[in-house]
Amino acid sequence: MTVIDISPSVMQFLLAFIVVGPLFGAVAALLPAPPGLKGRNPDQAVLRHGVTVTGAVLIAAIVLAVGFDHDHPATMQATTDISWIPALDVRIHLGIDGISLPLLVLTALLTFLCALYSYFKPPAGPSPKAFVALVLVLESGTLATFAVLDLLLFFLAFEMVLIPMYFLINRWGGDQRQAAAWKFILYTLLGSVVMLLGLLLVGLKSGTFDMVALATDNGRGLTTSVQVIAVLAIGLGLAVKTPMWPLHSWLPDAHTAAPTVGSVLLAGVLLKMGTYGFVRILLPAAPDGMRTFAPYLAAFAVVGIVYGSLACLALARTGAKGDLKRLIAYSSVGHMGFVLLGIATMTPTGVNGALFANIAHGLITGLLFFLVGAVKDRYGTADLDTLAGATGAALYGRAPRLGALLAFAAVASLGLPGLAGFWGEMLTLFGAYSPAEGLSRPAFRTFMAIGAFGTLLTAAYMLIVVRRVCMGEHALPARTIPDASAPSAPSAPSAPDTPQAPATPGTPQTPAATPASAASPTPGTLQAPPTPGTLQAPPAPQLADVQPYEAAAWTPLVALTVLAGLWPAVLLGLTDPAVQKLLSGGKS
């Protein structure tokens, strides 16, 4: 069934445009703006260009999804297969199925929302021309990763995103951005070199680099030893990008230093490239090798779940000076652990859960990084102790809509039933309860129990974050103002005619603490000044609440998080037939 009947040639064009269009847009962003399109200034023109290009790509992705044959999601659609390097049998082979289509739409959506957000809130740094060009190159590489069906093209697309993200962190990031950018590029390049060797081994030993042919062959053209080596090499490169514990240490630094848009794209789509490679390449092409390493992959996954949660709890505690962006980054280590656990079960239930958790993480964590960036813009810091201690009212009292959105994203992230985060985690745990034939049930049920414990830890740190950032802490946690009526306290002379210090215009004032025995002042009379040395409650100025452009960028993520939570069949109906075919060796 298709919502709109679109011819195969138009579908091919749409997919090719989605992959290549951002590259042409990146080149155009570096050129001078045409005379009629300059706007108020060149910076505004290039930012508007970014919104236009990413918007066109998003529209094309939506039309592609509407024209997709939902009755046959396991079949590759909108395919293009052109010989590129005949000597190596490398082909420009593009196509989408129920596994890649949701990731394609998610990437187009998040990139458009980032471009829209940047138009109204440009990142501090060099000229926006390079910024827009880098975001568009990043989008093209990510979309190509989910659309190509050739191993070498997959590698090129996989590597294409590294340089743009390096410069986004290094040029537009915050403190320690250079060290974080170098750590990101070195980790991922090292993993990619090993991954390339594994991809070449699979292609040369099987006689083809075509991913559809490899999936149909289901590893029959590769010996078990070759499969084991291939899974070890390719899996290492994919695990770095995922990121899997203990190869995750580049992620918190990169997220902490990256600009808001960089963090959204890094968490929302770049991490999905690693887990997508496990599902698209290793599960169908090297099943025996995956079966050998599945218990180890599951063990690393559940360690990552618990480790990420404990790291978040440590950052969230009072006095830890934890950075909120860093905390969300560590939460990604735990959430991607659930994705890896689902893949390691090698069952349709587990893999469907992994793919669902992929999409849910992209929506929820993308929203979280948008919100944390907005909080940091308003407070000037993402330090949890500063955010919690700034005022007793905190976000609920100072920017209630922003506080409500942050609380919503937090409870979605902890897996509240009825929201997108719930289904992925539940399905991966179900898959671990009954793993594929040949895998140890006692071991995987132990992993399931550890993963379920990780969900409790996730709920704990997320609720702590909501309590501290949204509700705040007492303004006077350690010292109290002495009671003037107590005999030991020196009596201060009253000065009824002494005026208070003037308030800042437009800034609401917190009433100064008064002795318990003092009478309330008569309206219209002047207040006595505070006793010298008495600790005063700080003023609690209002913050700018959610702005219209922020609402435009965040509302789609909120709506899709609710939709996926209440109607999971929309996504599972796409992925399940494709996963069944993938795991059965190309048989529907």
Which pLDDT band holds residue 474 (cuts at 50, 70, 90)?
Answer: low
Mean pLDDT of 334-339: 92
User: In terms of Cα–Cα distance, which of 458, 456, 470, 465 is closest to 405?
Assistant: 470
CA atoms within 13 A on the CB side of 191: 25
pLDDT at position 496: 41
Mean pLDDT of the 180-195 span: 88
Of the candidates 357, 393, 387, which has an alpha carbon nearest to the alpha carbon of residue 372?
387
Contact between 174 and 261 (Cβ < 8 Å): no
For the chain, the C-alpha Rg in angstroms (whole number) is: 27
State the pLDDT confidence band at 341, using cuts at 50, 70 and 90: very high
132 pLDDT higher than 60: yes
Q: What is the pLDDT of residue 485?
A: 41
Strands (E), 183-262: none
What's the maximum distance between 2 C-alpha atoms anywhere in the chain? Answer: 96
pLDDT, one tens digit per residue, over 294-314 is 999 999 999 999 999 999 999
Tens of pLDDT, residues 383-437: 888 887 765 567 787 888 988 999 999 999 988 898 998 999 999 999 999 998 8
Q: Nearest to residue 270, comparing CAs of 283, 282, 258, 287?
A: 258
Mean pLDDT of 286-292: 90
Q: pLDDT tens digits for 505-557?
A: 334 444 333 333 333 444 444 444 444 544 444 555 567 778 889 999 999 99
For the segment 171-179, the average pLDDT, to the nearest whole number, is 84
Q: Which long-range contacts (CB under 8 A, 24 or more apart) does 522-527 make?
A: 525/496, 526/496, 526/497, 526/498, 526/499, 526/500, 527/499, 527/500
Confidence class for position 30, pLDDT limits 50, 70, 90: confident
Asked whether residue 587 carries a pLDDT value surpassing 60, the answer given is: no
Give residue 216's pLDDT: 87
Report the pLDDT value the prediction gives residue 175, as an integer from 0 to 100.
Answer: 78
Q: What average pLDDT score do residues 483-505 get?
A: 41
Coarse DSSP helix, strand, coil percentages of the chain, rounded to the nearest 5 percent: 65, 5, 30
Q: What is the pLDDT of residue 40?
A: 67
HSE-CB of 553 using CA atoms within 13 angstroms: 29
Better-scored residue on pLDDT, 292 or 529: 292
pLDDT (tens digit per residue) in 233-283: 999 999 988 888 888 888 888 888 888 899 999 988 898 999 999 999 999
| pLDDT at residue 385, as a whole number | 81
- Residue-level pLDDT at 514: 38
Give the SS3 label for residue 193: helix
193, 229 Cβ separation under 8 angstroms: no
How far lies 471's CA from each of 8, 388, 392, 397, in Å? 54, 8, 7, 8
For residue 323, what are the β-bridge partners?
Answer: 383
Confidence of residue 502 (pLDDT cuts 50, 70, 90): very low
Distance CA 56, CA 415 (A): 33
pLDDT over 80 (residue 186): yes
Q: Report the pLDDT value the prediction gives residue 322, as an integer from 0 to 100.
A: 80
Report, as an integer, the average pLDDT of 68-77.
Answer: 87
Q: What is the mean pLDDT of the chain?
A: 83
What pLDDT shows up at residue 536?
45
